Structure formats: C-alpha cells, structure tokens
Amino acid sequence: MDPQTIREHIRSAQGGDAEAFAEVFEFYRKTVYAIAYRIVGPDDADDVVMETYLKSWRAIPNFNQRSTFKTWLYRVTHNCSLDFLRARKRRRAKVMPENDYDERGIQDLQDSKQQAPDELLTRSETADAISAAMAELAEPYKSTLFLRFADGMAYADIAAATDVSIGTVMSRIFYGRRKLQKLINARL
C-alpha cells in the first residue's frame, strides 16, 4: 500500500469507514504483532494485537497526523502491551501471594545465573543468553533497543513513538546496552 493510499484510507477511517481502517491496520498487522511479541511474548501477542486494533479504531478520529501513522500505531501497540503486562502482573499477584512458598518446586531454588560446568558455549546458547537477558531487561530499555536495532528506527522516530525526548532515547540506548551486556555476561 503506497503512502497516498494510506493517507486516504486514514481520512476515510477518521470519518467512520471501518473497512478503510481495517485495510490500513491489516497492512501494518505484522509490525504490530512483532512489537507485541517482543514485549509480552508469543503466548499473548495476539491478544495485544486485537486490543491494539480496538483502541486504535476508537482513537483514529483523534489522529492528528503530526507523526506517521506507523509511529502512532506503534505507540498504541506499545501502550497496549504495557497495559497487558501490568494486568498480567496483577493477576499473578492474586494467584500466588509472595509468601506462598509451598507451591514452588526445586527448580525455583536453582541459581539461574550459573551455567552448568559441562555445558559448552555455542551460538544457540549465546542466542538463548541474549534472549533471556532481553526478557530480564527493564521495559523502557528493552523497547528502545528493539526499536533501534531490530526495527532500525531513527532516534527521532523512537522519541515520537514513545513520547520522550531524543536525549532520553539516547540515554536509554546507552544504558540499555550496558545493562544488557552485564546480563549477558552473567549468563555466559
């Protein structure tokens, strides 16, 4: 879909045309899924995509086109993902209180940072270490690093998508990389 067609469909969607909105959303669905997947994981990414669709449909009349639609949609997806994580954390807190140790298994007592002595370092282990470290990285750093290095977004686009200054983006990338390196080194 070319940029002119996207703009026309967005104008139609802002006027209430659900079909036009669905076509534009479908064009960006893979991007929305990829963002949700990175933040909430594979099991819940589809739920976040659906929530993003609903929220962006409700919010499309207020889209002011100061940024690109893709950037705006990224922001909606990012916010829906964070909302989902907060809700999941609340659900877990209700299911298992902090002092309920009887239900835990022996695997919870193992030190996850220590590698077994007989394991050899391979590419797949390194990839696993990176994935685990990314999962452990705090959210603002994780999403900023993904946007920069996985999606190739420019600092200004990241700033617009996450509603922070370019300086904050630069800081998050710098400190995020440093924290990520420490987490990876602890696993290897």
| Whether residues 94 and 118 fall in one domain | no
Q: Identify the domain containing residue 14 by its residue range.
A: 1-98
Q: Has residue 124 been placed in a domain?
A: yes
Measured CA distances, 37 to 16, 62, 104, 188 (Å): 29, 26, 27, 25
| Whether residues 6 and 82 fall in one domain | yes
| Whether residues 89 and 144 fall in one domain | no
Terminal-residue alpha carbon distance, the chain = 44
Measured CA distances, 136 to 27, 113, 126, 156 (Å): 31, 12, 15, 26
| Whether residues 77 and 167 fall in one domain | no
| Whether residues 85 and 61 fall in one domain | yes
Q: Has residue 105 been placed in a domain?
A: no
Measured CA distances, 33 to 2, 49, 68, 116, 150 (Å): 21, 6, 18, 35, 14
Nearest to 142 by CA among 41, 32, 29: 41
Q: What is the pLDDT along the chain (188 residues), one digit of tens a residue?
A: 898 999 999 999 999 998 999 999 999 999 999 999 988 888 889 999 999 999 999 999 999 888 889 999 999 999 999 899 888 887 776 655 554 444 444 444 444 445 444 444 456 677 777 788 888 888 888 888 888 887 788 888 888 888 888 888 888 888 888 898 888 888 77
Domain count within the chain: 2
| Whether residues 177 and 122 fall in one domain | yes
Q: End of a domain among 42, 64, 98?
A: 98
| Whether residues 66 and 128 fall in one domain | no
76-122 pLDDT tens trace: 999 999 899 888 887 776 655 554 444 444 444 444 445 444 444 45
Q: End of a domain among 65, 98, 131?
A: 98
Identify the helix (H) or strand (E) that includes residue 19.
helix 18-40
Report the pLDDT value the prediction gives residue 134, as an integer from 0 to 100.
85
